[in-house]
Structure formats: C-alpha cells, structure tokens
Structure 1
Amino acid sequence: MSTLHVVDYLILAAYFVVLITFGKIAAKGAKGGEGYFLAGRKLGKVYQFFLNFGNSVAANDTVSTSSLVYQQGVSGVWVGFQMIFLNPYYWFMFPWYRRARLTTMADIFHERLGSARLALFYAAFQITMAVAVTMAFGNLVSYKISAALVTKPEAAWTAAEAESVAAYREMARLENDERGHALTSGQQTRLAVLRERHARGELNNYVTALEPWSFYLVYTVAVGFYIILGGMAATALNEAFQGILIMIFSLLLIPAGIAAIGGWDQLGAVVPPAKLDLFGAAGVSDFTGWTIAAVFFATVLQAHAMPHNMSIASSARNEFAARFGAVAGTFGKRLVTIMWAFCGLIAIAMFSGADTLADPDSVWGTMSRQLLGPGWLGLMLAGVLAANMSTVASQAMAVSALFARNVYAPFRRAASDADIVRAGRYTLVVVLILGVVVATKLSDVYTILQFAMTINVPFGASILLMFIWRRLTAAAVWTAVIGSASVNIVFPLVAQHIPALAESPMLAVRTVDASGRPMPVYFETVVRQDARNPGSALVGRDRLHVELVMLRAVGVDVVHLSPAGRLAGRFFIDGLFPLVLLIGVSLVTRTPPRERVDQWCGKMKTPVAPTALLDEKEMALTRRDPHRFDHTMLLPRSNWEWTRWTKEDTVGFLISCVVTLAIIGLFVGLLKLVTL
C-alpha cells in the first residue's frame, strides 16, 4: 500500500523504456576508446548544454536547497547558488580542458608533471570519492525524496513506527507551546528527552512504504543499462531528455504550493521577514556574506578537479562548444535553483509550528505527496530520478575512463583499445553497485554536502596551478594532497572512534539555536550518552571539524562564534591550507624538467583546430616550437602562464557577467514581490 496510483507507475515505466531505447541507439556509435569515453569528440553546443546542465543539476541539489531554505530561510540557497559567480570564469576554464586534448583528468598529472604515480593516485582517489560521495550521495537523496513520496497509511504502521511518529508530534507540540508560554518542569524534562532522541534520528513524521534495496536496484539497472551500452553518446542523448524532465519537475510544486497556502500574498505574510533576506544575518542563517565568500573560495578551487570536467569538455566538437555548453548549462541550473528556493519558502509556510518536519531532507517529497495528484506524482518521481541519473551517469563515465585508462592500462600494457573499453564497461557495473551499497550506509544530506564541497580542494588547487604556474612540482602536489586529506578526511572521520576525543569536554560541546534545540560545535553531532538522562555526559559523533580545532589553537573563540562564522572558518581553512602547501613546497623543491613544461604550456596556448586532421598539424608545429605562441603572454619570461584576451574571450566574459547579475537581480526582484 502506498501513495502512488497506477497512472504513476505507468509514467515511470515509460520513462525507463525511453532511457533504455536511447542507450541502444547510442550503442551503434560507441566504437573504440574515443568513441565510447568521449563520443568521438563530436558533441556540439546543444549536447554540451544538456551534458553540463544534467551533470550540474542533481537530485541532491533539489533536496539540499529546499531543505536549507526551509531550515534557515532563503539565504540557505547560497550553499549552491554561490557557484553563479563561477559562470564567467567557466568561459575561460573549460577551453583549457579541451586544449589539453586528453581523455581523463588523471592524464594531466602524467603529462604535466611526469608522475605516473600521481596519475594513478588521483584516479584511485576519484574513483573512491565518486562512489562514496558523489554517486552514493545522489542515490541517498533520490531515495529520501522518493521515500517521502511513497508512504504507508497509518493503518499499516507497526507499533515502533507509530511510536516514532507520535513522539515527534509530541516534541513539535511542546516546542510550539514553549514559544507561547513557560513549560512545567515535567514538560521541560520530557522535551529535553525527545530532543535527544531526535538528535539521534529516532523520531520521524512519516513512514515510508519504499524498501531501499528494491528502489536502488530498479533505477541502478536502468542507468547502468544505457551507459554501459552507449557510453558518453548515450549519456549525452539521455541528458537532453532528462534535462527537459528536470525543468518540468522544478516548476511543478510552485503553483500548487502557492494555491495551498492561500495565494502569493500569504507567502510574505506567513514566512518571517528574516527568512526572506537573501544575505542572511549571523544567528539567523549559516549563510552570511562571509560564509558565501568562504564557500566560493573553496569551491572555485575544487571546481578544477572534478573528474567529469575532462570527459565533458573533451567530448566537445571545438573550444566554443565546450565553453558555451559549460556556461549556458550552469546558468540553467542557477535558474532552477531559484525555483527550488521558492519551494523551500513555501515549505516554511506549510510546515511550521506543530507541523514542523522531523527530517528537513524530506521537504521536497512531503510537499510533492501533499500537493500533487495521480500522474503528476509519477512525473515528479520520474523527474527526481532523471536529476540523479544524469549526474550519476556522467560521474560513472568519468570513473570508468579513469579506471580503464589510468589503472587498468598501465598494468596491462599490451591491452588493445577494445580491451580498455571492455574494462570501462566492467568498471561501470562495479561502481554502480558500490554506489548503492554505500548509499545504504549514509544518512544526513547536509553533512555529506559540506564534505563533498571541500574533498577535492587540494587536487583542484594543484590542477589550477598546473595550468597557470610553471614552477609547480610533483612533490608539492603530494604534500598538499596528503596533508589536506589528513585534515579534511582521515582524522575528522577517525576522531569519533577515539574515546579521549569523542568524550573530551573541550570538543564534545554544544550551544543552542533560536528554538532551543542543541547545536554541536566541533563535532557534526553531539548527543547525550543516555538519551533519557538529560544530565548524562556529552559524546561527539560523525565528523570532527579539525579546521575549527586549528582556529581554536591560534586563539579564536570558536564556541562563541555564530554557526555562520564557524562554517566560514572551516571553508577558509580548507581552501588556504592546500594553497600554502603547494606554493611553499614548490619553492623549495626541484624545478620540473623545462622541456616537459615547455611542451605542456605550448599545447595549452595552441587553439583547437576545426578538424582532427588540422589540429594534428597545428600540434606538430607546436611540438617542434613550443614557444611559438609566447607573444600572447601577459608576463613574458615569467613563471605565470597568463595570456592576453581575444575578442571572443572578452565578449563572452562580459555577457556572462551581465547574465550573472541579471539572474541575481531576478531573484532579488521576486523576493521583493513576496514582501509587497
């Protein structure tokens, strides 16, 4: 028994049939490594638009945006919307990957630094992170939305499920009463116990009818079928179809939600004014101006290391197709992000007070279930799956190329092109299965999102410097990657298992938010050892924010910072630390071989020719004279590889800036309309 109608199931079945059909169509052209992994480098502007749009728009973006806006107000949108400031930069960044003329991001480490070990390490690291973070994260979010869409009627609840929902409703009722008048001592004790249980994830406000493994099996088989058959070409074809679905499902909830709350004017009347401030104030939102700047600083570095950058840009027919697709596709995401933000505001009006949701990540699914009827609910679910599949597909293709070319091929030097493609197909099967297994072990979307936003910063900073600074060394990259991984991944995750740290009175500390709910400081979660004893000792769980410990060590009063201040501090440390290591170690280690760096820099200044034959002729000239374009450099005879802008560079950049400001202006204007 569930909320889905037979019409919804038919729509989902039709969706899966279309995906599989596209996979079969694309399979005809997936011959050879370049054809399978890069679609023959023949994708034009339209396909590049949908590849970039589909890859950037994931189900986790929908959930995280609507969830954060629901929790913190519209300023919560900046966790993803701050990337809008990157769009003008994409106009320059993506042609770099096309000019590299490589197949995977790992190839850069081998060609630029001459380090096969770094290439292998990057490939292994990205494969692990793509499975454990990107793909598993997308799977988890898709399940969370779908689970909130497909729920059990109360008559089918077990005793434990009924008690969980009843306890949550009691907590919400007591919190609502607390805002109106003082609670009795017995009520205060009861509320403290319920809040502890809620912090442990024991309370829910709905019961899903969706079994995780069955859900994961169906859509993983579907996405696996079409990308294994058709490779990058199938991914591009399906991205176009899925992109249309994503646009539709992003629009569905707004008119229905506005009608449900009584009209547009009610949005401004019900939502507190502080939650309509796009640039949130400290204490109200985690995303103030400083936080936005810190997050942008870290993400602009990380953006260079995404493994799909090379596969998407290198599949473009030419540089213009690569840069147009990247900029236009991500501008499309910024527009749908605004729609998701308004869904979060509508959720505030729908689910406040005693109706507050236990799991903010269920906002999208709960709204869909309450607002959409048969057929529309099925279309929403198909759109959610499309958002996840489009991202998983492009990530899986990048991962399969990394394994086949940078892990398998070096150990099987006699492998033919067909052998490498076959290894890539086998890799797809394995990573898709692992992505499902890991997803079942994850829980909180926001925590994973913060982790995903910084995990690649050291690699991203390294790749950026490979493009623009001749002095970078392999030793510096090793130092930055290992050092940052220790601070950002290894120690933060191990610390919770060390009793001396997890139970430390200096680290296992909490403050309270505006509603009186306990908020952790150094650990991602801090709970009582005994949930039913409000006086028991505190214990840290999940990630230890080592960045905040570092700030404390230099004298910063971390505990008394606002949540926004602590978040900003974490992102600034995550961005600065690897940059300091990269530049510092490079200056004291041996300079890279001049001939290798000259060849790399010469290639990066050689524009991609209109055809493969002409491009090979241009590259032959560059190999003979790698300095033939040095006259275009801004700082000749220096270690900085900055070149003068062309007319196309200038015009494209200015248009990108205008569109960026126009989208922000549109967002601000719509928020002004809410308050009229």
Structure 2
Amino acid sequence: MTFGSLHILDILIIIAYLVAVVYIGFRASKGASSEEGYFLAGRKLGKLYQFFLNFGNATEPQGAVSTASFVYQQGAPGAWLSFQTVFMNPYFWFMNVWFRRVRLTTVSDLFEDRYASRGLSLFYAIFQILVACVFLGFGNVTAYKIASSLVVKQEAQWTVTERASVEGYNELKSLQKQASVTPLSPEARHRLELLQDRNARGELRSYVTVLNDVAFYAIFTLVVGTYIVLGGMAAAAVNEGLQSVLIIVFSILLIPTGLHAIGGWSALAHKVPKEMFDLFGAGGGAQFTFWSLVGILLISIVQNGGLSHNMGICGSAKNEFAARSGVSGTYLKRLMIIMWVFAGLIAVAMFGVGGLSDPDAVWGAMSNRLLGPGLIGLMLAGVLAGTMSTLAAKALAISSLFVRNVYRQIWPGISQKQGVFYARCTIVAVLLLGTVAATVMGSFYDIVQMVLTVNIPFGAAVLLTYWWRRVTAPAVWACVILSTLCILVVPWTASKVPSIATNPTLAQMSTTPGTGVFFNKVVHQNPDDLSSPLIASASRTNRFNFESWTVSKLGVDVVSMTPTQRFTLQCFFDGLFPFCVLIVVSLLTKPTDPKRVAFFYGKMKTPVGETPELEAAAMEETKRNPTRFDHTKLFPGTNIEFCKWDKVDTIGFISCSALSAAIVGLFLFFLRWAS
C-alpha cells in the first residue's frame, strides 16, 4: 500500500509523531491557565529547556532545504546565507541577557516601557503579526517542497501540460549540455533562449507531484495549531526535546545513504567540480565574497534584534545563566549546517550541476532516491518536527503581542483566563494567515532575502534602544516608516507597477539569463519573441533593488557592477540606513522623560535574582536608586550604555569565539578532505 512514494510504514510513522505532539500539548494545557504560564512557562525554564528551545527555534527545516538548494546551485559558498550565523554566537551570549533583564513579556512592551508610546507598541504588534505571515509561510513552503517531491505522479498520469513542462525541462538541460561542449546551430540557440525564458517564468519542471498544496497546508496547520493552542510555551518547550532529536536524525539521514549511492567519500572529488569545495571562492557562480559575507552578517544581527519571539524564549529562562545557556543550542545548529552543505554536494554528484529544474526540491529528490520504507517517514517526521518547532515559537510570540499590546489597549479589563483564550484564537488566525502566505511564495532564494530583511526596521530600533540612551520615540517612528518603505514595500511591490516593470532603464538584463540589474528576474514581454522588450517578471517574489537604484542616482555606476557587488551594496544599505535615521532624528528631537529613561537603564544593569524574593528586592532597590550600577558603564558620563565586562562576560565571549573558530576550521577540513 502506497501513496505516491510513501509506504504504509512511512504513513504510520508520521501519524505516530503527530499524535505524540498533540498529546504533549494536551498534557501541558494544565499549567497554561495564566498569561505568564501560557506565554513564558512561568519563567521557570532551566538550561536544558533553553538549549532545546534555542536549538529547535534556530534549526528549522527551511534552513536545511534552502542551504542544500544553494549549495547545489553554487557549491560550498552557497552555505554562507546560513553559515554566517556562526559568527553571531558570541553576540548571542550578551543578547540573551538583554531580553531577560528587560523583564517584559513581549517586544511591544519594550516600546511602551522605554518611550511611554502606546502607539509604537501597537504598531510593532500589528507589524509583527503581518511579518509572521512571511515566517510561517516560509515554514509551510519548506515542508510542502520536501513532501511534494516525495509524492510524485507516475508518467502515465501526466496531463498534456505537465508532460510539456517536463519534456521542455529535459530539452533545456540537453541543449545546455550541448552548448557547453560545442557551439549550437542558430536554430538550437534560438530554442535554448526560448526555453531559458520559459524556465525563468517558472513554466518548466523536472517532476510532477500528486500532493495538493492547499490540503497539505490545512492538515499541517491543524496539527501545529492544536498542540500550541492547548499547551502554549510549556508544550513548545517539551516538544522541542522530541523535535530536536528528529531534526538531528533528518539532518544525518542523507549523508551515509548519499555517499553509498555515489560510490563513497572519494567519489565527491571525482563527481563534483573542484571549485564547489572552495568555501571562500566563487565556485558555481556563487555571489558571496568577504564583503558580501560581512553585509549578510550585518543585516542578520540587525534583524535578529527585532524578532518577536526573542522575549518569549529568553524571558522564559529562570535566570540569566539559563538564558545564556541557550547559545549552546545554536552551536549545534552550526554543525547541522555543515551536514546540510554536504547533502547539497552529494546532490551535485547524484544529479549533476543543474540536473534538477527546481533546486529547492533537492532535499526531497534525494530522500525519494535514497531512502526506503520507514526512513522516508522518519525524514518527513523530522521535517514536520523542525517546522512545527519554529512555527510554534513564532505563533506564541504573535499571540502574546496581540493580547497584551492590541487587545488590552482596547479592552484593558479582560481577565487572565480571557487573555489566554484570545491568545489561542490569535494562534489559529495567524497560522491560517501563514497558510495563505505559503500559497503565494516563490523560490527559497527570494524568500530568504525577504526573511533576512523583513525585521530590519524594528531590529535596528530595538538594538539602539538597548545601546543608546538618547534614542527618542519620533526617531523610532521615522526609522520604521522610512526603512519599511525603502527595504520592504518599494522593493517587493515595484514589479507590480506597469510603468516601473516595463521601464527600459530599470528592466535591464544582467550577464545571467533571466536576471536583471535592478530586478531579480527579467524576461521578454512576448515569450515567443526574443526581440520583444525586456520587462520585470510578474513573479510574486520578484524584488526591485531599490538600494542600487538609489545609489545610482548619486552617480555610482551600478550597471557595471557584478551581481555580487550589487548584492553587497544592498546588504550594507539595508543594515546601516535605519541606524542613520535613528541617530539623526534622535539628535533633532526632544529627549524622552529622564526619570523613565534612568529607571529603564537601571533595570537593564540589574542582574536577575536567583529567586523571586531576591528579584523583587533587587528591583525595589533599583527603583529607589536607578543609577546604582552606572559605575559599570564602559563610557561613564555618556549616553552610550555598553557596560564593562565581568568574569562571566569575558569567559563566555572568549569561549564562544573559540568554538565558532573551531567549527569554521572543522568545516574547512572536511571540505578540503572531500576535494
């Protein structure tokens, strides 16, 4: 008995996993009667739960699938969109403490607590509810991409359109292979260009699935919603233990089976182009150089500060050291990334460079080729586990934002029990919105670019709030409005405006077919006429490089830049522009109430008490004397709020840095060994 490529054993394993997570949610529901119990698990989670929460939340299947996809296309340098986070771990050693010491429930609370601005608090909550659709949609797309490539139609069941799509793809690959060996005839060259144009439009496929995306999203969302609605953060934390094990299993499965299929470890050097093993090179057309890596790291740090689930995960820790211990979970993810990279390289050896029409389906295609009954079910259970753990944390964060920072602003008198009820309703609504968002998303590369930048406006505001006493509410408003327009709204909507999409200056083709100078995707207006004008593709995720266009107006020749240089320019613009707005507007506007500001930074310097009694006493003393820790400031008498490191800060930072360096060294060792 089978369903597509799924054996009955695979189906039973998946059902068993889904029943288990729902049962855990039911058991955890008993302790989720209050808002603090539901959103923060009563602030009682120790080091082990923090490890699982951080690992599970950081190690999402979309990271595995997208990394394998990028590596399949670009070689080892394609790992940098994920692997650059290895350099963020020393920063997390401090960041986790900030979100614990602020002693709030949501990031929205931060804007009301620091600036006395209910408007900013409300705007952040609404903004994050919309942003959640992107993150939740990404998770849904990942799970579907893998599942759909495992459940494929037999050739006898193809429709005429499906057959034309697959045959067109096979013809494209055949012509590309011929062109790499010998010049094509004019007719063949014309046919190749037509097929490349169709491929850029997403009309060609290497396989056809029988899995309906809407049905898949509906069932998937139902299960996630059930266990999170029941148990809240406690259910998420307990499930992370089970899910973390499955994530590790699904990350490992393809390595030994893949190596066996290609003829062993030594076969990698023979079947994969040598330049694809160069982590710092440009093999396979990779667009990551040293400066682009620095740019990606910059926007990663900035956007990370604005993530809505930071307060829930770090705030649920019972003390500061438990919060900091979560860093160990993110280190385990870095090791997972190395395995994902080798899965991508094994895919190159198996399918050949460009052998798949949809590189995003690499993980599923490998699973379908390599794994037998039972193992495929285990793989899918791991994919579902990782996706669920990520969706759970984000859905919980959004529900707490809605209840505390939207609903309570309108009806402040609701009880704790009512608050939990409305939170559960919000989770259902947000998960449904994520399902809708999944249906309109494109390739992983496009989505990852969106995910990397979508939280930058508020991320910059949150970080500078922690670091600089002079930030004002008007500056935060200016930052989030201008940055949202420049980084998100204009870039992701410009291709939908006919006058922009058809502008010859903007719709210029780069040296890569289908890719433009200012747009990610550029195609001919008439797909059957290669002499027709170029226009921006109508793809749902075709991004306009507003950053390069802006810089070009200042006299910089961005047209002659390489795609790598334009991408790097985009990263630095997105990462620095919000801070420029914050600083300039803050200096031009009236400072926030000094007493409120003094208490906020006094609280941020007050260590969290080991017991509720010690915590209450410490905060009472800080209320009486908010400047009692000002002697710890690195720059006394200034508005800069960096503090001198103590022994724990120093040892932790050095240890994190050394471990990051060791992981990079281990990665390089394996790549050189494989080559």
Q: TM-score, normalised by structure 1?
A: 0.98
- SS across alignment from 2:503: coil
1:464 maps to a residue whose letter is L
**Residue matched to 1:159:** 160
Deviation at 1:283, TM superposition (A): 8.4
**Residue matched to 1:288:** 289
**Residue matched to 2:97:** 95
1:380 maps to a residue whose letter is M
Deviation at 1:459, TM superposition (A): 1.0
**Residue matched to 1:658:** 658
CA distance in 1 between partners of 2:636 and 2:491 (Å): 44
Give matches, 1:636-647, under 5 Å. 636-647=636-647
**Residue matched to 2:350:** 350
**Residue matched to 1:548:** 548
**Residue matched to 2:441:** 442
2:570 maps to a residue whose letter is R
CA distance in 2 between partners of 1:667 and 1:282 (Å): 17
**Residue matched to 1:588:** 588
- SS across alignment from 2:404: helix
Whether the 8 Å contact between 1:113 and 1:474 is mirrored in structure 2 is: yes
Are residues 1:244 and 2:240 paired? Answer: no
CA distance in 2 between partners of 1:561 and 1:670 (Å): 33
Whether the 8 Å contact between 1:146 and 1:381 is mirrored in structure 2 is: yes
CA distance in 1 between partners of 2:460 and 2:666 (Å): 32
**Residue matched to 1:374:** 373
- SS across alignment from 2:543: strand
**Residue matched to 2:309:** 308
Which shows bigger deviation, 548-557 or 257-266? 548-557
CA distance in 1 between partners of 2:442 and 2:633 (Å): 49
Give matches, 1:5-404, under 5 Å. 5-131=7-133, 133-281=134-282, 284-325=285-326, 327-352=327-352, 356-404=355-403
Q: Deviations over 1:347-378 (max 9, x none)?
A: 1111225x711111011000110011110001
Identity of aligned residues (%): 48
Q: Deviations over 1:10-36 (max 9, x none)?
A: 000100011011111111111201000
1:115 maps to a residue whose letter is S
**Residue matched to 2:516:** 520
CA distance in 2 between partners of 1:552 and 1:357 (Å): 36
Q: Deviations over 1:498-555 (max 9, x none)?
A: 2221111111011233xxx332221121111111111111111322110110121122
CA distance in 2 between partners of 1:263 and 1:270 (Å): 11
Whether the 8 Å contact between 2:100 and 2:323 is mirrored in structure 1 is: yes
Whether the 8 Å contact between 1:274 and 1:284 is mirrored in structure 2 is: no
Whether the 8 Å contact between 1:458 and 1:579 is mirrored in structure 2 is: no
- SS across alignment from 1:543: coil
CA distance in 1 between partners of 2:241 and 2:506 (Å): 48
**Residue matched to 2:603:** 603
Name the CA shift for 1:613/1:31 in 2 (closer, same or farther; >3 Å): farther
- SS across alignment from 1:84: helix
CA distance in 2 between partners of 1:480 and 1:628 (Å): 32
CA distance in 1 between partners of 2:351 and 2:289 (Å): 24
Q: Deviations over 1:99-126 (max 9, x none)?
A: 1110000000000111110010001001
CA distance in 2 between partners of 1:649 and 1:27 (Å): 37
Whether the 8 Å contact between 2:275 and 2:283 is mirrored in structure 1 is: no
Whether the 8 Å contact between 1:477 and 1:582 is mirrored in structure 2 is: yes
CA distance in 2 between partners of 1:436 and 1:378 (Å): 23
CA distance in 1 between partners of 2:34 and 2:335 (Å): 37
Deviation at 1:456, TM superposition (A): 1.3
Whether the 8 Å contact between 2:74 and 2:283 is mirrored in structure 1 is: no
- SS across alignment from 2:536: strand
CA distance in 1 between partners of 2:270 and 2:563 (Å): 27
Deviation at 1:282, TM superposition (A): 8.4
Whether the 8 Å contact between 1:282 and 1:562 is mirrored in structure 2 is: no
CA distance in 2 between partners of 1:523 and 1:344 (Å): 27
CA distance in 1 between partners of 2:496 and 2:515 (Å): 20
Which shows bigger deviation, 274-283 or 51-60? 274-283
Q: Deviations over 1:653-675 (max 9, x none)?
A: 11111110110010000011112
Deviation at 1:458, TM superposition (A): 2.0
CA distance in 1 between partners of 2:275 and 2:583 (Å): 42
Give matches, 1:458-497, under 5 Å. 458-497=457-496
Deviation at 1:494, TM superposition (A): 2.8
CA distance in 1 between partners of 2:497 and 2:311 (Å): 40
RMSD: 1.1
Q: Deviations over 1:571-609 (max 9, x none)?
A: 000011111100011111101110000000000011000
Which shows bigger deviation, 230-239 or 263-272? 263-272
CA distance in 1 between partners of 2:281 and 2:527 (Å): 33
Q: Deviations over 1:611-658 (max 9, x none)?
A: 112201110111111011112112111111121111111111111111
Name the CA shift for 1:2/1:431 in 2 (closer, same or farther; >3 Å): same
1:623 maps to a residue whose letter is K
Q: Deviations over 1:413-434 (max 9, x none)?
A: 1111111111101001111111
Whether the 8 Å contact between 1:283 and 1:563 is mirrored in structure 2 is: no
Are residues 1:408 and 2:410 paired? Answer: no
**Residue matched to 2:577:** 577
Figure out how many residues of one structure are paired with residues of the other and give that number. Answer: 669
CA distance in 1 between partners of 2:554 and 2:74 (Å): 30
CA distance in 2 between partners of 1:283 and 1:370 (Å): 24
Q: Deviations over 1:109-162 (max 9, x none)?
A: 00011111001000100111111x100111111111111111111121112111
Q: TM-score, normalised by structure 2?
A: 0.98
Structure 2 stretches lacking a partner, 5+ long:
none
1:535 alignment partner, one of 519, 531, 537 = 531
